[in-house]
Chain A
Amino acid sequence: MSLNRYQPIFSCLLLFACLIIFSAASQARDLSEIQKEGVLRHIGVPYANFITLYQEGPHMIKGGMDIELIQGFAKHIGVKYQFIPATWSTAFTKLTGQSASYVNGELKRGEATQNLQGDIIANGVTILPWREQVVDFSTPYFPSAVWLIARADSSLQPIIPSGSTNEDIKKVKNKMDGRDVLAMKHTCLDPDLYNLSETKANVILPLKQRKLNEMVPAILNNDAESTLLDVPDTLIALQKWPGQIKVIGPVSQEQEMAAAFRKQSPQLRDAFNAYLKQIQTTGEYQRLVEKYYPSVFYFYADFFEFK
């Protein structure tokens, strides 16, 4: 009788155990499972020329360097390609099934476990220490940094390069005192990443979710005097609004961008690294970069010399 009394509780525990087991099985989706299923799901946040999305009638037209890169990879491993649109705040959740955010210099993981929606994040994701705790990164394939950009009519004057990045960062941060600086949480422009609070700058965070390519229009709209901006976006902005903005100087050290994988997908990451090396050796990758970021070679000529 006593056994019958605990029977419902036992049944619930058994069901939960099963869910855990099946969940673990689904979390372990790696190259072999992907190939078995026949589809590679690419999670992407529209950003710079890495991923561009725009609506044309009922269709969402996607493009960009990382779209082409992952499509090439999917073809390489013999599966179909599927694009999973995301935002900077949902991208990691869709990959790992668990939310992750960087708040006040600390990583915070979400409690709720969600279904995995994608297998790879590639949209010019900067390799940051907190992100490395959440995901595994591929071999870096694009250089970056974060610069301070101001309106052309701003009294902020570009620094004169000293030859030392650290010195230059100091010069820039010194200029930020009391200035309005636009930044964005959860991204590479997160003010916490660069200790902007120390600069006494008036950091302005957008009230609503913005895309990174909306930062320059914001300062042109007098939302702020200046903004943090990564190099790829800066290069585009300089072409897009010639004479309307100016680069003051660096806020960060040089950074690198790479594709992010679940930590449970080492085979998939290895396969991607192998594919990347292959196209870098054949020159196919350089042609891809030249197509989307022709002027990047001026700054990072060494980065793109693969042997």
Chain B
Amino acid sequence: MNIENGSFGIFTEDYGPRIYAPDFSTLVGDVSAQSSTGARIANGRFLTIDNSGNLNIYNTNIVSIYNEAITPASPLFIRASATKFYILSDDGFQNWTLEIRDENGAVDSTIPNIFTGINVGSFDVTDNDTILYYFEDSSLDTIKRYDIPGLAPLPDFITYATYEAQNILVLPDETVMISWSVAADEGIHYSSAAVILHSMSGTYLRHLALDVDRSSLGFWAIINASTSSNYYTFAGGGAINLTTELDGHVVNSFFVMAESSVVVNDDSGVYSLVPSKRNDTLSTSGQVAIPNSYTILYLTGDE
């Protein structure tokens, strides 16, 4: 795959992550087995957990650098700070565990029962790994906070009566983007003290992700409309329709990819010669015919 800076990794109901060129003009390729969520850290690595329970960390060349079979709980959320991956999962009885892993997949720490008796709607963490923002399904108008190193709840961040939170994105400067819906569709950018810095309305912001350079305002939003999606750049301000590639695929989450350090050439890789195999299977092209098998005999009188 040729990965350009600012390509999109899109998790849909059918695929995930699918890699799209920055303008969505090209579906560059699919990365792995179906997975509905994932997140990227600052160095470009991203983590997914596929539907078979395999945790994978990929480098910017979209090569898996860490794999582990885990028992995925449901529901499951994956977020990332600058250097850590965060996996929040429920054991099925509303007992939530937060697992923090480093860029190589090693478990830094686990916080069992960080929340109990609630259903978490979504969460995100600050780049300095100190504050976790989240909201509950039962009180969607309130954004709550949790002190990660202190292992203790913090005062609520904001309450927006009659609105329901859809998603949270904590930006590197510790400002917070919340997508709201129901009363109206709004995206509001708050300071860390919950002062409104920017807002936009009229759009239904379902999913949020940082832009490739992790700049404060340079984030992207995916807008779901049942079976098709649009994307929106807060900094740029204009909504752009997606290509038809995503038609029929409801987006579950997405991230914006850092530039690949290596352009991965098509069909590069290590292959094995398999006795009696009657075709060639390649890393990009898939299964193809063995090229051009032939023999020519030259017999006297052929001229």
State whether these chains interact: no
Interface residues of B (CB under 8 A from A): none
